[in-house]
Amino acid sequence: METLTELQLDGLPGPLYFHGGLSPGNIASQTHAGMRSQPRLAARQCLAKMRTVLGLGVPVALLPPLARPDIGHVRKLGFSGTDGDVLSAVARQDPLALRQACSNAFAWTANCATVIPATDSEDGYTHFIPANLAAMPHRALEASARTAMLRRIFSDGERFCVHDAVPALTDLGDEGAANHHRAAGPDGAVHLFVHGRSREILPEQLPRKHPARQWLGASAAAARLGRARQVVHARQHPAAIDAGAFHNDVVMVGSPSRILVHEQAWVDLSAVLDAVQRATGGVTVWVVPAARVPLAEAVRSYLFNSLLIDTPTGTVLVAPGEAAEGAAAAEIAQMLAEHFVSRVVHVAVRESMHGGGGPACLRLRVPLAAAGLAAVPRGVLLDEAKLQRLEAWVDRRYRTHLDLDDLRDPNLLDEGRTALDELTNILALPRLYDFQGAAV
């Protein structure tokens, strides 16, 4: 099999980053709803995480923030006039629509798409299947803009295919790579898709407290669109969803060679792992017993929302700072003692965590051969000099604090556009946004 490099395509909160509490089932989002946010700190923490990953010898690229507020969406709700008039009217008449139009949940880039690399697809293309994110209104706004942005970045039609999202129908809700994992062993690679519901699952078998967002039909469609050669489907355990694991990546994380999973992650854990092992010829697995790390602790610490990265010097776990205490810390110590991982690095992403997104949420894994990596525009690839430019940009353009009432401020619209206009120059992606004249 051709050697692949896993590009980390990282998201970044925009200047309007706020805690809107828009995501039922996401305990952190609900807990911090309405809390004063710190946009500058949020962006700085994400950039610091990117610097940590770069330091491990892993390539990182930046997927730019979406433009917020989404004035185009608000106009579709019947508001008219200048952009300022539209913003003022929706703030008075429909505050929830304003919060949805301002949502920065796009920063959690693991949700933006599913990626099937060229080595695993029947037609030799690297496929991107953007997620429709149909389960949550504020996230469903992302699909078309993210599709256009992915097409702009992965524009080499000889190597990449960026599909349209799966139709946003009731029974085709797709949450992207937060419910997908690529495992690879001596016999090949397999794509594990995890769903929470399907047409065949009876209502009494569904979670009781929180919604199951990923549909089996959407997972199957993504696998077909990506022409994946080997696929395994797993059903997320209702108990995990009810505990706050609204996506699979709250109870499972992996690298190509390793899987770290909670024993209550899936309905039939043993059968799923057996299928993965047969398809790959063997990957290393660490199952965390609920007796050692209960589901509530997994959700609190976001232990499984870490990055598990294979490096030339061993497998590194990049974990949120919250996993450095309690039962999660004890489990990490055991993983180190038994050489499941060779090193652990804790990163501070507290602002993102307050919205329900840890290190794994903040990036999309894009496995590429050397030629595919060379086809990625140089402007979005990060190095230390680019990170320093981005940090200076954040310090200039992001507010230190933001309250929900601030979303009514008409100056935020101009501030955000000025910031993103400057960002496109830093990344050498001019005319990326509709306000610049691009159709995004």
Q: What does DSSP assign to residue 232?
A: E
Amino acid at position 230, single letter: Q
Which candidate, 5, 6, 89, 9, places its Cα nearest to that of 50?
Answer: 9
> What average pLDDT does range 55-68 have in this prediction?
97
5-68+103-430 homologous superfamily? Succinylarginine dihydrolase (3.75.10.20)
- pLDDT tens digits, one per residue of 377-395: 999 999 999 999 999 999 9
- Over range 409-428, report the average pLDDT: 96
How sure is the predictor about 147, in pLDDT bands with cuts at 50, 70 and 90?
very high
Q: What is the pLDDT of residue 1?
A: 65
Residue 219 has pLDDT above 70, yes or no: yes
CB 121 within 8 A of CB 157: no
CA distance 178 to 194: 9
- Tokens at residue 309, please? 């990265």
332: nearest Cα among 249, 253, 277, 273: 253
pLDDT digits (tens, 9 = 90+) for 254-310: 999 999 999 999 999 999 999 999 999 999 999 999 999 999 999 999 999 999 999
Report how far Cα 422 is from the mean position of its chain's Cα atoms: 24
Backbone angles phi, psi at 389, to 5 degrees: -65, -40
% of the chain exceeding 70 in pLDDT: 99
Name, in order, each residue with C-beta under 8 angstroms of 47's C-beta and a sequence gap of 6 or more.
12, 387, 390, 391, 394
For 86, 88, 436, the CA distances from 83, given in Å and listed in that order, are 5, 9, 14
How much is the pLDDT for 349?
A: 97
Per residue in 185-201, pLDDT (tens digit) is 999 999 999 999 999 99
Dist. CA 424–CA 39, nearest whole Å: 19
Which residues are part of the catalytic machinery?
175, 247, 361
Residue closest to 414 by CA, chosen among 13, 12, 16, 11: 16
Band of residue 440 on the pLDDT scale cut at 50, 70, 90: very low
* Number of other residues whose CB lies within 10 A of the CB of residue 228: 22
Residue 374: CB atoms within 10 Å? 11
Place 2 in a pLDDT band, splitting at 50, 70 and 90. Answer: confident
Give the mean pLDDT of the chain: 96
Tokens of 254: 């992996």
Number of neighbours of residue 270 by Cβ within 10 angstroms: 10
Structure confidence at residue 439 (pLDDT): 58
Distances from the Cα of 428 to the Cα of 62, 140, 152, 431, angstroms: 12, 28, 12, 10
